[in-house]
Amino acid sequence: MLSEEYKDQLLRLGIEDPEDFLKKSPGTTFYFGGRRPHPSIPMSDGKRVVFRSYSHGGLFRPFTRNRYLFGSRSFRELTLTEEIRSCGIPTIQPLGAIHRFVFLRFYKAYFLSLEIPHAMDLVQFFQKTGPRPTFEDLSRKRRMIRFVGLLLCQFHRSGIFHGDLQLKNILVSGEQPLLIDFDRSYRKPSLSARERAKNIFRLNRSAEKWRRLGLRVTRTDLWRFFLAYAEDDPEIQKLMRKKLRTYSIRIFVYRFGWMLERVLGGKVRSC
């Protein structure tokens, strides 16, 4: 399933065989979007297409790798991304989704989107402020935190739950934050306050982990985000206050796990 605008161009490049397409594509670079960098392929019009391959996580990853048996992950993400764009929520422009059968009913899944030039994820954005930020740097940082809070509020009010809301799944392009990577996300008529809080605290956990790795994200920054998100929603404010009473215990458990990961030499795989 490919975008009509780019379908002919992608077919001429040999997109039917994605792995061969990547090997033969000249000028391939890597675009840092989401958890890991993805191949970025130049197009004839000067734009670039980001090529994301789906892969399993967890204990069975060494066995299953990037092969799937059931479902239609990339097609579902393509449909949801288009719905999100139709709501006026800033995100990437999808170009297509591919399922390629490799053995019996096992398949590999791929997702294609246009690269956003000069965009950075939120981790890179915070790193850019440096250890001694200027007043202008701090103002831009605080402004972006507020924009992210307002964006997530719009996202949730549209009934959309993000399946992996973390700092690397929020891009910054100029003064505009964008949400990306909607695998395992879903939309319903309205989200419950509990679902919204779950997303918010998932993002906060990501910020907490990166903060412990040296990222300059303060607790005041986190409160600025909370206030921007919930400034006119007493229900979510009440729920967040309730959740915060138990959050310190939960985050202690995560911190213990992160410490073990560092001691054992593990890499940051999911933040």
Q: What is the pLDDT of residue 238?
A: 77
Task: Provide the Cα torsion 152, 154, 157, 158; round to 10°.
Answer: -110
Could you tell me the CA-to-CA distances from 133 to 70, 138, 170 in Å, in that order? 49, 6, 22
pLDDT, one tens digit per residue, over 94-118 is 999 888 877 777 878 889 999 998 8
**Same fold: 4-114 with 120-263:** no
3-state DSSP call for residue 179? strand
Domain locations along the chain: 4-114, 120-263
Which CATH number is 120-263's, of 3.40.50.300, 1.10.510.10, 3.30.70.3420, 2.60.120.200?
A: 1.10.510.10
| Segments of the chain with pLDDT less than 70 | 24-36, 56-66, 68, 243-271
Q: Find out if CATH 3.30.200 is the number for domain 4-114.
A: yes
Q: How many CB atoms lie within 10 A of CB 30?
A: 11
Q: Identify the pLDDT of residue 157.
A: 94
- So what's the pLDDT on residue 168? 93
CB 104 within 8 A of CB 18: no
State how far the alpha carbon of 241 is from the alpha carbons of 197, 230, 248, in Å.
Answer: 10, 11, 12
Contacts 24+ apart (CB under 8 A), 257-265: 258/209, 258/212
Give start and end residues of each alpha helix (H) in 101-218: 122-128, 135-157, 193-212
* pLDDT confidence of residue 162: 97
